[in-house]
Amino acid sequence: MMNIKNSNEKIGFTDLALASYLSIYFSITELNTENGIKFEFVFSDSPEMQKAISDFYSNKAQVNPLTYFNAIKNLKGRLYSER
């Protein structure tokens, strides 16, 4: 997991699975890239965001499988449109 914080209270991830899960509940504020190869999904950080991240990695997150699958497809679509 790539977890990057900055002074603007934003947090970024390169993990597609985590970013897809988070995008169900939180808006992506930026999509950054280095040479069009590695992408970083940036979200606004908050206590709710930290709880969602913790739930995801501790296998406590619950989400409808079809909703999660569609979130993955949507993010992949955004990645391909950025290339």
Please give the pLDDT value at position 82: 72
Q: What is the pTM of this model?
A: 0.85
Query: Which residues lie below 8 Å from residue 68, measured CB to CB, with a gap of 6+?
Result: 20, 21, 24
Please give the pLDDT value at position 6: 52
Give tens-digit pLDDT for 27-55: 999 999 877 778 999 999 999 999 999 99
Q: Would you kindly state where each structural domain of the chain is located, as residue ranges?
A: 4-82
**Averaged pLDDT score across all residues of the chain:** 89
Cα distance between residue 8 and residue 44, in whole Å: 8
Please give the pLDDT value at position 33: 87
